[in-house]
Structure 1
Amino acid sequence: MSDIRVRPALLSDDPALARLERATWSTLHAVRPPLEEHEDFFSERFGPDVYLVAEAEGRIAGFVGVVPSTPLASNAHVRRLQGLAVDTWARGRGVGLELVVAAVEAARRQGARRVTLRVLGHNTPARRLYEAAGFTVEGVLPGEFLLDGAYVDDVFMGRAV
């Protein structure tokens, strides 16, 4: 897919991103319940300013958040990827990789020296995507989450920017 464009999210993207979040929600990647039908995508904690949106074929294909790892000044050089999602129709076309590469570049522009993320151990497609973007496993919390009756590892990954 050569027409992928990644841009900053806009407040007006909220309905489309909420629909995408609900449509792609799965225990393969999510540890919290899905958004309710009436819930907004953006929140006080994570507004449009922290998200990047991928567009392809004239519509939103995915999103990713780039947030400070913690509110501590001593940790201000680290950003964390938050909430990557790619719509079903756009999967396997490079949208996820474009989003991750753009997120790392956004972190660099924000002055970050490192980017981290958390991914569920059973989410093999996401782990391969992050590895393709230069992330490596830096730690594992075995059985951290109970999802659909199974204990799932929480995998920490990171890379320099």
Structure 2
Amino acid sequence: MSDSFVRSAVLADEEALAVLDRRTWSVLHAVTPRPKPPYERFFDDRHRPEDLLVAEVAGRVAGYVRVVPPTPLPCNAHVRQIRGLAVDTWARGRGVARTLLDAACARALDEGARRITLCVLGHNAPARGLYESAGFEVEGVLPGEFLLEGAYVDDVMMGKALV
């Protein structure tokens, strides 16, 4: 990713991120229905620009990762959770997802986190492979947690120690 970098999201990224999100929607990773017009806003009270890191390649938004505290509880403040990672179709195969994942871990560590966690659908082999290659380990499985297009799909919880 020599012509790219990762930065914090800003409000002006909303349209590019919304388009990217719609373009990359897949039953492989989404538990919500395919987005249809009229589209909801990308940023809202629960999805704030400051929670996202954006990857740019050659000046274009190529992907994002959303990293948040898993709960508002002080006893859980040492953990961050990845709640969304997407790479635009044209930017795949360039290391964007791995760069975003590494940046998410670095940000979490900078914020004082000791662990980072995520959930991934059991049938999403590419994402699971990415997370495993980055040091995430399966910490739990909720068998058949989601019914997607007529098939029951596991929700796989993964985590990684940062310190």
Q: Which residue of 2 aligns with 1:78?
A: 79
1:82 deviates by 1.1
Gaps of 5+ in 1: none
* Secondary structure of 1:17 counterpart: helix
* Secondary structure of 1:137 counterpart: strand
1:36 deviates by 4.0
Gaps of 5+ in 2: none
For residues 6-155 of structure 1, what are the structure 2 equivalents within 5 Å? 6-37=6-37, 38-155=39-156
1:4 deviates by 2.3
C-alpha separation in 2, matches of 1:131 and 1:101? 13
What's the CA shift string for 1:60-104, capped at 9, x where partnerless? 100000100111111110000011000011111100000000000
Is the CA contact (8 Å cut-off) linking 2:80 and 2:116 kept in structure 1?
Answer: yes
C-alpha separation in 2, matches of 1:108 and 1:35? 33
* Secondary structure of 1:66 counterpart: strand
Is the CA contact (8 Å cut-off) linking 2:4 and 2:59 kept in structure 1?
Answer: no
* Secondary structure of 1:20 counterpart: helix
C-alpha separation in 2, matches of 1:63 and 1:119? 16
C-alpha separation in 1, matches of 2:81 and 2:34? 21
* Secondary structure of 1:98 counterpart: helix
1:39 deviates by 1.5
Please, what is the CA RMSD of the aligned residues?
Answer: 1.0
What's the CA shift string for 1:99-152, capped at 9, x where partnerless? 000000010111100000000000000001111111111110011000011000
* Secondary structure of 1:143 counterpart: strand
Question: Which segments of structure 1 move beyond 6 Å, counting only runs of 4 or more?
Answer: none
TM-score (norm 1): 0.97
C-alpha separation in 1, matches of 2:145 and 2:115? 24
